[in-house]
Amino acid sequence: MQDYLQLFADYVTYTLLGIGQGTPLGSTVDFFIYDTIKVTLMLAVIVFFVGVVRTFITPRRVRKWVSGRPEGVGNVLAALLGIPTPFCTCSAVPLFIGFVESGVPLGITFSFLVASPLINEIAAAMLIGMFGWQIAAIYIVSGLVIAILAGVIIGRLHLEDQVEEFVWSCHMPERSEQAMTWRDRINFAAGESKSITRKVLPYILAGIAIGAVIHGYAPADFLLNIAGNDNPLAVPIAVLIGIPLHSNAAGMIPIIEVLTSKGMAMGTALAFMMAVIGLSLPEMVILRKVIKVRLLLIFAGILFVSFTLTGYLFNAILG
Partner 1 sequence: MATIEVLGTGCAKCKRLLANAEQAVKELNVAMDVVKVDELDQIVERGVMLTPALSINGEVVSEGRVLDVKEIKRMLSE
Would you count residue 183 as binding partner 1 (CB under 8 A)?
no
Least CB distance from residue 63 to partner 1, whole Å? 8
Q: Which span (93-101, 152-160, 230-238, 291-299) binds partner 1, by CB under 8 A? A: 93-101
- Toward partner 1, which CB reaches closer, 100 or 239? 100
Would you count residue 103 as binding partner 1 (CB under 8 A)?
no
Q: Which span (32-40, 86-94, 117-125, 295-303) binds partner 1, by CB under 8 A? A: 86-94
The residue within the footprint of partner 1, chosen from 12, 19, 42, 172 (CB under 8 A), is 172
Would you count residue 179 as binding partner 1 (CB under 8 A)?
no
Angle between helices 182-217 and 249-261 (to 10 degrees): 20
* CA pair distance 269, 216, nearest whole angstrom: 21
Least CB distance from residue 86 to partner 1, whole Å? 8
Would you count residue 27 as binding partner 1 (CB under 8 A)?
no
- Toward partner 1, which CB reaches closer, 34 or 99? 99
The residue within the footprint of partner 1, chosen from 27, 67, 89, 247 (CB under 8 A), is 89
Q: Which span (137-145, 169-177, 218-226, 253-261) binds partner 1, by CB under 8 A? A: 169-177
Would you count residue 108 as binding partner 1 (CB under 8 A)?
no
The residue within the footprint of partner 1, chosen from 1, 22, 175, 182 (CB under 8 A), is 175
CA neighbor of 89 nearest in space, from 62, 110, 116: 116
Least CB distance from residue 87 to partner 1, whole Å? 6
- Toward partner 1, which CB reaches closer, 78 or 212? 78
Would you count residue 22 as binding partner 1 (CB under 8 A)?
no
* 266-305: contacts with partner 1 (CB under 8 A): 289
CB 242, CB 272: distance < 8 Å: yes
Least CB distance from residue 289 to partner 1, whole Å? 7
Q: Which span (83-91, 137-145, 245-253, 298-306) binds partner 1, by CB under 8 A? A: 83-91
Instruction: Please report the sign of the dihedral spanned by the C-alpha atoms of residue 276, residue 278, residue 283, residue 285.
Output: negative
Would you count residue 95 as binding partner 1 (CB under 8 A)?
yes
Would you count residue 189 as binding partner 1 (CB under 8 A)?
no
Residues 6+ apart with CB under 8 A from 45: 193
The residue within the footprint of partner 1, chosen from 17, 25, 73, 90 (CB under 8 A), is 90
The residue within the footprint of partner 1, chosen from 91, 231, 247, 261 (CB under 8 A), is 91
3-state secondary structure 238-307: HHHHHCCCCCCHHHHHHHHHHHHHCCCCHHHHHHHHHHHHHCCHHHHHHHCCCECHHHHHHHHHHHHHHH
Q: Which amino acid is at 210?
A: I
Would you count residue 98 as binding partner 1 (CB under 8 A)?
yes
Binding site residues, partner 1, CB under 8 A: 58-60, 63, 87-91, 93-95, 97-98, 170-175, 289
